[in-house]
Structure 1
Amino acid sequence: MSNSSPEGPRRASDRLLQLAVALFGIGIVAVVAIFVTPIVSDAKPGLVLYCLAMLAPVGFLLGLVFALWSGRRAR
């Protein structure tokens, strides 16, 4: 019994949702860090934070793709 869930193995769409949530979460944390950095210290936010902040819309778009894909498959 390698799989304990009754639904069977995880589908690729479940991984797409997990990826979308992870990317969106990382992006939101980076946006918050961009605003908190000048408050906590006198330094400007680094380029890495701005690059990570771009993951929020990517995660959002992947979430939309997942929603449209799973809704079409349910019919």
Structure 2
Amino acid sequence: MQTQKSSRLLGVAVVMFGIGMIASIALLFPAVRDTGTAVVTTVYVLAMGAPLGLLLGIVFALLSGRRSR
């Protein structure tokens, strides 16, 4: 039996990981890096979503897993 809380947690984890990966790839383009300090800082903060999304995904897996007897 799966609860709504855990399925929301997985959704949030996937979205955060996706945003973080897109922001990480965006940092590789010179057009983003050369625009200004505020833009680079914003994209860098968004890139931190990838590790946070991965951590939430691990928490979801641990909470939804079955206990062995």
What's the TM-score bracket when you normalise by the shorter of the two chains?
Answer: 0.7 to 0.9
Question: Does the alignment pair 1:43 with 2:34?
Answer: yes
Aligned counterpart, 1:54: 48
Q: What number of residue pairs does the alignment pair up?
A: 66
Gaps of 5+ in 1: 1-6
Coordinate RMSD, CA, aligned: 2.6
Residue 65 of structure 2: SS of its match in structure 1? helix
Structure having the higher Rg: 1
RCO (CA 8 Å, sep 6+): is it higher in 1 or 2?
2
> Identity over the aligned pairs, expressed in percent?
50
What is the TM-score of this pair, normalised by structure 2?
0.80
Gaps of 5+ in 2: none
What is the TM-score of this pair, normalised by structure 1?
0.74
